[in-house]
Every structure is written in structure tokens, then in C-alpha cells.
């Protein structure tokens, strides 16, 4: 049974000029020959991801979404540079192949990378894939261990010393995401002012050990070996990667993790398989990270609450495009329910916090 992640027909309004893409790739990649076919990976809500096949060669093309975009978001050149620097020391990265800044090719900058074939776990496990409770726990441990491997990379030694400024990172995140939410808020969205005031008041000082951070690390952004689903072979979606506080990165990951005991509305919008949540809790992830990293974490409330808020901003920015008719992707209409659920979850986390 083939359980690898599949591409589908390109969504209406998100088509690429196949001839233009083909000419560019044949000129840019030595030895590339054959006809081109283009499909689209249907998952994801931000940058668009296409399966490009030329002859027998499979590649993945990444481009920004259509419609209004946040000013500093969707920088294809930045994402390509991060992958190029990381790949030699963090082999879970896809191999970047070529970057195109020329917008005349498809209407925006884009880059092309190798395809990593494998299994991606989403809300529900693929048909034919099961994990025992012990296997689920070990896979969760492997998930956090690969995250730790990323945080152990010496970013200066791989040429990323000037990639970002870790000084002031936490405050920039709190202020920046607050500004983005206010700019993207629609009339049917919560105001989030209570949450924004709390995270502004409780934000910790900068870490003295900044690292490369992924900023969207979760189960449906990792690829499992189709022959051994217990083995992680790839990490995808690097558009928000930067240099900063790894505990902020961990909080941004755990805000996705819905577990037993969470509200019905959070269960309704979960992305992780419940089989995994039965084996590992957010507290388990934090404790394993603390033990293996040597970092003293203490209370994780700020990082988790900020993660919930930031995820709500991302969802709201995407929903904004649907609300104003800038996209035909029907999935985006439902994101307002996720924004509301995340606001409620953040309020509950604040009310339960001892910070």
C-alpha cells in the first residue's frame, strides 16, 4: 500500500505557466530532460507547494500565496538561503536546487528543491498506518530529539551569523505579532487585547544561547520513512526559520499539540493524530527537552501562550484573504473558528498560569 504524501490537481487560480517553468528549470539544472507535469500538494495554508516532474525527476517548487501578503512574509530568497546553509549539517532539510528572483517566470520569486518521498502524519493517520502506544511514545520522543538537533547547530559556523539579530528577539516577536493581528483583524474576529497585554507583561529576557529555529515545527511538517514509519527523514516548510530563542520555537510547536483534556473546540481544530497525543503530552515534551538540552525551563506558560497567540495571528492573516475575496481556497473560510478557539485556549492558559 502506497501511503506517501500525494500531490493533486492544481487549485483554480493557483496555476503555474508550465512552459515558462520548464524552460527555466532545463536551463538552470544540468542534465534535466523530458516533458513537464505540475501538480499541487493540497496541504498547508501559506506558501504554495507544487510537485514538478520533468522526465523521471521529481522536484518541489515553493512560491508565495496569491493575494495580499504580510510585508515581511514569504521571502523565497531567505528560505532558500536557510536551506542551503543548513543542509550540510542538518540532513533532514530538502536539498535546495535553484532560486529564481525573476518574477516574469511565474509572477513571483520561487525556489525549487528535491522531493523527499515519505509519510506525513496529519489529523488522521493514513489508511494502513498504525502505532502501538509504545511506538507512538517513541515517535514523539524522536520528534523532540530532531528538534533538539536543529537547536544544537552552530549557526555562526555555517554562515548564518548575519541572518538575523537574536538580540531583542522576544520583544520583536511580541510587538510584531500584536501589530500583525491588529492589521489583519476582521469584524468577526476576537480582539485578543487581553492576551496581547499579558504576553507583553510576562515576556522573558533574551536567551544567552540563541539557535537556528524553525518556527513551524510539528508532525505534519516532518516526513517519515515509508519503509520504517518510526524514522524521521525530512523536515519541511522553512519559511519562518530564523535565529532566536529555542524556547519560543518549542512554544510555537506545542501550541499545535492537542491532547486529552483540551477543550472540545481545540479538539475540533487539532492537526496532530490523537493516537500520538494519547502517548505524549505537552508537559512530556517540555520535560524531555529540558533534560536533553541542559536548559532550565521552569514555567512554560509564556511560551505556550505566545505560541497560541502567534498561531491565531497566522490563521487570521490567512482568513483575512478569504474574508476579502483574495483567494478561492475554500479551506480558508473555516479558519475564523480556529482563531476563536485559540483565543479561548490562550485565555484559559493565562487564567491557569502562576506567572
**Residue 225: all three cell numbers together:** 520513512
pLDDT in tens, 307-327: 999 999 999 999 998 899 887
pLDDT in tens, 163-203: 999 999 999 999 999 999 999 999 999 999 999 999 999 99
Burial class (CB in 10 A: 0-12, 13-18, 19+), 17: middle
- Can you list the pairs that 229-234 forms with residues at least 24 positions away whose Cβ atoms lie under 8 Å? 229/119, 229/129, 229/131, 229/139, 230/135, 230/138, 230/139, 230/142, 231/142, 232/92, 232/142, 232/143, 232/146, 233/92, 233/116, 233/118, 234/92, 234/93, 234/94, 234/116, 234/118
Mean pLDDT, to the nearest integer, of 331-350? Answer: 95
Lowest mean pLDDT among 10-24, 58-72, 101-115, 135-149: 58-72
pLDDT of the residue at 1: 45
pLDDT of the residue at 4: 74
Mean pLDDT, to the nearest integer, of 207-233? Answer: 96
Residue with cell 524556547: 247
pLDDT of the residue at 65: 85
pLDDT in tens, 241-284: 999 999 999 999 999 999 999 999 999 999 999 888 888 999 99
Asked if 304 contacts 152 with a C-beta cutoff of 8 angstroms, the reply is no
Asked if 301 contacts 355 with a C-beta cutoff of 8 angstroms, the reply is yes
Mean pLDDT of the chain: 93
Mean pLDDT, to the nearest integer, of 211-218? Answer: 97
pLDDT of the residue at 44: 67
| Confidence category of residue 121, pLDDT binned at 50, 70, 90 | very high
Closest CA to 166 of 218, 213, 214, 215: 213
Domains of the chain: 18-114 (3.30.200.20), 133-352 (3.90.1200.10)
Compute the distance between CA of residue 43 and CA of residue 271 in angstroms, rounded to an integer: 11
pLDDT of the residue at 71: 47
pLDDT of the residue at 3: 65
**Residue 210: all three cell numbers together:** 540563541
pLDDT: which is higher, 287 or 47:
287
Mean pLDDT, to the nearest integer, of 280-294? Answer: 96
Compute the distance between CA of residue 291 and CA of residue 309 in angstroms, rounded to an integer: 27
pLDDT of the residue at 276: 86
pTM above 0.85, yes or no: yes
**Residue 155: all three cell numbers together:** 549557526
Amino acid at each position: 500500500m502506497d501511503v506517501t504524501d500525494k500531490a493533486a490537481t492544481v487549485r483554480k487560480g493557483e496555476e503555474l505557466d508550465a512552459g515558462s517553468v520548464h524552460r527555466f528549470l532545463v536551463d538552470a539544472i544540468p542534465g534535466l530532460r523530458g516533458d513537464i507535469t505540475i501538480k499541487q500538494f493540497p496541504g498547508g495554508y501559506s506558501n504554495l507547494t507544487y510537485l514538478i516532474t520533468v522526465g523521471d525527476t521529481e522536484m518541489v517548487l515553493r512560491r508565495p500565496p496569491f493575494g495580499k501578503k504580510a510585508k515581511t512574509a514569504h521571502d523565497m530568497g531567505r528560505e532558500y538561503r536557510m536551506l542551503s546553509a543548513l543542509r550540510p549539517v542538518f540532513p533532514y532539510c530538502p536539498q535546495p536546487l535553484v532560486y529564481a528572483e525573476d518574477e516574469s517566470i511565474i509572477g513571483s520569486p520561487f525556489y525549487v528543491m528535491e522531493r523527499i518521498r515519505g509519510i506525513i502524519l496529519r489529523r488522521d493517520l493514513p489508511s494502513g498506518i498504525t502505532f502501538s502506544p509504545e511506538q507512538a511514545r517513541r515517535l514523539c520522543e524522536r520528534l523532540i530529539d530532531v528538534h533538539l538537533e536543529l537547536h544544537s547547530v552552530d549557526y555562526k559556523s555555517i554562515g548564518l551569523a548575519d541572518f538575523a539579530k537574536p538580540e531583542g528577539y522576544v520583544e520583536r516577536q511580541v510587538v510584531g505579532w500584536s501589530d500583525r493581528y491588529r492589521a489583519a483583524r476582521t469584524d468577526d474576529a476576537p480582539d485578543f487585547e487581553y492576551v496581547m497585554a499579558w504576553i507583553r507583561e510576562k515576556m522573558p529576557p533574551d536567551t544567552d544561547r540563541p539557535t537556528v529555529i524553525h518556527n513551524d515545527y510539528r508532525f505534519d511538517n516532518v516526513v517519515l520513512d515509508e519503509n520504517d514509519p518510526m524514522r524521521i527523514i525530512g523536515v519541511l516548510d522553512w519559511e519562518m526559520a530564523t535565529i532566536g530563542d529555542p524556547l519560543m520555537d518549542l512554544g510555537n510547536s506545542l501550541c499545535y499539540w492537542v491532547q486529552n483534556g483540551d477543550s472540545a473546540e481545540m479538539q475540533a481544530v487539532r492537526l496532530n493524530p490523537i493516537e500520538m497525543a494519547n502517548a505524549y503530552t505537552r508537559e512530556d515534551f517540555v520535560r524531555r527537552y529540558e533534560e536533553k538540552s541542559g536548559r532550565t525551563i521552569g514555567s512554560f506558560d509564556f511560551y505556550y501562550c505566545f505560541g497560541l497567540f502567534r498561531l491565531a495571528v497566522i490563521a487570521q492573516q490567512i482568513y483575512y484573504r478569504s474574508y476579502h475575496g483574495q483567494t478561492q481556497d475554500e479551506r480558508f473560510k473555516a479558519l475564523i473558528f480556529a482563531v476563536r478557539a485559540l483565543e479561548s485556549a490562550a485565555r484559559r492558559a493565562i487564567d491557569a498560569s502562576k506567572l
